[in-house]
Chains A and B, each alone.
Chain A
Amino acid sequence: AQSVTQLGSHVSVSEGALVLLRCNYSSSVPPYLFWYVQYPNQGLQLLLKYTSAATLVKGINGFEAEFKKSETSFHLTKPSAHMSDAAEYFCAVSGGRGGGYQKVTFGTGTKLQVIP
């Protein structure tokens, strides 16, 4: 079984400030972790993924995340927030693959507000 917990349903940052969105996971098998972003009235877009090749993962739009096994965390960061980063962010973990399909568990999401 697997789960993810996102701390903070809303995060507000000033434009140019550091963005930190928190995600902690629980998994009975080595986890595969993802961060997705969702802009209003759109689907989910993959930001980055952790697949055990490297603990520091770089994604699109200047985002990166660090996998810390000892802390069971996969927090998302960006050094300098831009107005266009305002969106909903979901952390997700990929589970077992019975039947070939992928069972993904999403966190509850964090809405990022960027203040000019």
Chain B
Amino acid sequence: DTEVTQTPKHLVMGMTNKKSLKCEQHMGHRAMYWYKQKAKKPPELMFVYSYEKLSINESVPSRFSPECPNSSLLNLHLHALQPEDSALYLCASSQIDRRNQPQHFGDGTRLSIL
């Protein structure tokens, strides 16, 4: 069982749709991350939240909009996506200021853009 829960597991959407990905953790971690992973590639960092504040945006297009409503939840709002946005989206969390501690990953949301 993973300690980071992501919903939905699969999502198919058209290019004009609006949808949201959700991530939840109850490990008390105050850093949360969104990654994008294409097939046969490592995860690519998209966003980092630290103490519920956006710390890093890795030049992600504005059609991706992150939100951290509280210390346990992380959302990724999607709008007007492109076919090249089809990928596995992974959420992760970690302790703050503990470089020697690993990130904990969810199982991801498999996103397909029609």
Q: Which residues of A are at the interface with B, using a C-beta cutoff of 8 A?
A: 32, 34, 36, 41-46, 49, 51-52, 90, 94-97, 99-104, 106-109, 111
Contact = CB atoms under 8 A, between A and B. Distances in A.
Nearest to B108: A43
B42 A90 contact: yes
A100 B43 contact: no
Contacts of A108: 41-42
Interface string B23-42: 00000001101000000111
Interface residues of B, number: 35
Nearest to B2: A43
Nearest to A99: B55
A53 B43 CA distance: 27
B96 A94 contact: no
B102 to A, nearest CB: 5
Contacts of B105: 36, 43-45
B76 to A, nearest CB: 15
B93 to A, nearest CB: 10
Given A100-B31, A109-B42, A43 B107 contact: yes
B21 to A, nearest CB: 13
Nearest to B53: A99
B94 interface: yes
B56 interface: yes
A102 B98 contact: yes
Contacts of B97: 97, 100
A27 to B, nearest CB: 11
Contact of B103 (A97, A100, A104): A104
Interface string B1-25: 0101010000000000000000000
A32 B97 CA distance: 13
Given A34-B102, A43-B105, A45-B105, A102 B2 contact: no
A101 B43 contact: no
